[in-house]
Structure 1
Amino acid sequence: MTEDFKDQLTEADGSKSQSVTEMESTDFGSISSGGHPDTFIASPLPPEVSHYGSMSPFQESIQARITQEVERKRRAGVFPPTFERRLRDSFERLVPQGGGTSREDFRSLFRSTDRAAFMDIDVPIASNRRGVSKLKKVIRSLTAWYLNYLLQQITNFSANLMQLLAAMDLRIKTLENRIPPQGRAVGSSIAIPISEKASAYVSGELSNLPGRSIVTGCCSSNVLTALFTTGADVYGIDTDETLLDQLQQRGLDVRLASTLEELENVRPESLSCVVLQGDYELESISKIRKIIDSAASAVGAGGKIVLVTHRPELKLEDRRSIIAIDLAPGHLMHRETWEELLCMVTPKLSLEVREGNNAFPERIIIATKLTN
C-alpha cells in the first residue's frame, strides 16, 4: 500500500490515478488551483436550485408523484387514522427519557444536568508506564491552585444556573396548570354539530372553487362529503380517529391532525380555500389568532377562508355539548368580535357575513384574500 494518500484516489473505472490538486468539485464549491484545502472558492448554485430551497422541475415532478401516491393509498384505506394514532403513540413511547417535551422528560433532564454540573479537579494519576505516575502527580500538585481557582468560578456559575432553571420551571409549571392538557375531551369538534342547512350552504358556495381545499373539523358536518361528491380537490382533518376511519372507508381523503398543526405544515399560498369549523371557536383567543393567520398564509390571492361560527346565545340541550362549552379554553363570540379579530390578524381580507336566523342557526363568515 502506498504511503501517499493522494495516490489512492483513483477514478471509478480503476484507470489513471488522480491527485487532489487535479480534482475539481462538481458540487457548490471547488478546491483552489493550489490544492490548499483551506482555500475554498464558492461556485454559483445551479440555476434550478435557489438559496431558499425551491425545488427543480424534476424534484417537483417527483414530489407530485409521491403526493398522488400517498393520496391514493389514503383513499384506499392503507393508512387509516387509527393506525396513524397508534403509530404516533408508539413513537412517543420510544422517545428516550429526557428527549421529549413532557413534564417527566424535563425532570429527568434537569436531574442529569444537575449531576453533570459537578466538576472534579482531582485528576487520576495512575499509569502502566514507569515514572509516569510520579510525573502526573507533580503536574497535578503544581497546577492544583490554578484549577481550583477556575473550579470555584465554574461551580458558582453552575449553581446559579441550576437555581435559575428551577425558578423558571416553577413559573412555567404555574402556567401549565392553568392550561387544559392536550387530548382532553373538551371542546371536541363534534360537541357543536353543524346543521344540514349550514353544511349545504357552505358546500354550495365552494362547489365551483378551483384548486385544493381543506375542511377542518370535518367530522362535525357534511361539508367534506358534499364537496367530494362534486369532484372537488378537497381533504379533511379532525382529531377523532374513529369517525375519520368511517369517512376514509367511504373513499374520502382525511388526515388525523389538529387544525393549527395542519395549517402550519401547509405550503404557503397552496390552497384555494380553508373551511374552519368545529372545535377551533372554543380555543383561546391567542390560538384562534394563530389559526386564522396560518389559514391566511395557506391560501393564495383570491382564496377564501370560511368560518362556521355559533352565536353566544346558542342554547344547547345535550349534556356533552354543554359541558364542552363550559370547560373550553375559549367561548363563543359575537359577529363584531369575529370581524375585529380577522382585521387584527390580517388586513388583506374582504369579509362577507351570512347570519343564519331561520335558515340555519350558525353564522358563516367568508373572508376572501385580496393580495399576498
Structure 2
Amino acid sequence: MKDGQKQTDLSRIEIFEGAREFISEATGLGFQCIIVSDSHPKYVNTIVKEYFGNVSALSLADKPNTLNTLNFLRSQNIEILDSNCYVLGDSWLDIELGRGLRVPTVLTAFYEAKNLEIRDGIGDYVKNIKSGSTYYAESYDDILNILRNPLQNLLCLEAGCRGAVSYLARKPRPDDFLQDKSLTAHRILARQSQGECDKYDIREKYFEFSRTNRSTELLFTLRDSVIAYIDRILEDRSFLWHIFTYVPDKRTTQPANKMGELFDLIVELVGQRTASWDCRSIFEWNERVNSSTRRQLSAEDRRRFVRNNLILQEGVNVNGQNVIIIDDNYTTGATAEIVAEKLRARGAKNVLFIALFHLITPVYSSKLCPKCSKRLQVKINRQNGNKFYSCVLPRYKGDGCGYTENIV
C-alpha cells in the first residue's frame, strides 16, 4: 500500500491513540501541521483525508533530501527559516531532513519496533540517536511540553549555553548494560554536530573548549550544566555513588589539562552538595602515547588504543565502589566501554560515564559546490570558530574537490 501498488485498506491502518488530539492542540498553539512522507500519494492522501481532515501532506518526499520539502512548503507560502518550525519523526530520515532544513527536531519513541526497517530507518536506536535530534519524546504530551518550553527541554549543556536550566541527558545506546547485577550507563549532555543543524547547535563551544583561548564564561557554563545533571543524579536514590573522576588529557594535548581544570571547577560545587563523594583523578595516559583516540579509524581501533594506553592508577581502590566518570566527547562509546572494563577488573560495581558532547552524523547542505556540483558541508575552523562551507575531500571521508567558502 505504501508504494501505491495496492488500494489502501483503511481497516488495516492503525492511528496512534491521541494523534488527532495532538494535531488539534498543536494547532491551538499556533502551529500549522504538515505530514511529510516518503510513501505514495494514494496511501498518504487516503489516510490524511480519513483521519486528519485539513492537514496538508507531502508524499514521495525522498527524505532526508530537503528539496522536495522546501518546494512544498513554499507552495504553502511558508518560508521555513522565518517560521517557528519543528520536524517530528521516528527515524534518522526525519531527523536528518530537519537538520538539513536547519530547524529543531524531535525524535519520537512511541513504540518499540519489532523489526528493523532499513528503508524507513525504523528500529535502529543507535543510528536514530546518532542522527542528532534536538529533542527526544516518548509521548504526545512530551512533544507539547517541548513546543511550550523549548529551552527547558534541551539537553542540559545546550540549555546552559542559552541561559536556561535543563536536567536532561540522553542515552547514546538503547539500554544501560547490566552484568552480574552491575550497571554500566552512558549519558551525553550536548551534541557535537557535523554539517547542517538547528539553532540550538553549540558545536562552536566544543571547539572553543579545545582552544587555549577558551573563555572563563564557557568553563562556568560547562560546570553549571554538569552540576544541573549531577543534581538530578543526587535526587535518584536508586544508586549511591562513591567516586567522581574524569578521563584526563594526554600530556601532549593542547590546551594542557583542559578536563582537569573543568573537573576542579565542578568539584567545588559537588562538595557543596555531597561530602560523601571521593572526587579525584584516578586515570592517566601512558607517557609514551603519541596518537589520539580521534585518529583511530574504527570503534575496535579506538577500544584497542584506549585499552593499551589509558591506565587506572596503581593503588586506587575501587572494589565495590560506584563510579561516575566524565569525559569531553563521545563518538563510538569505545572510551566509555574500556573505562568501565578497567574499573570492573578492579572490582568496581556500577559505572556511569558522562560525556559533554556526542559526535553526531554529518548532514550536508543543500548548497552545491560551484566547481564540482557536489553538496557542501558546514564546517568550523577549530582555531577561530568561524563557519565555512566545505566540499569535503576523500581523505576526510567526503567525495568532493576541496573547495571552501566562508559563511558570512
Q: Give the structure-1-normalised TM-score.
A: 0.21
More helix by percentage: 1
Larger strand proportion, structure 1 or 2? 2
Give the alignment's TM-score, normalised by structure 2.
0.20
Larger Rg: 1
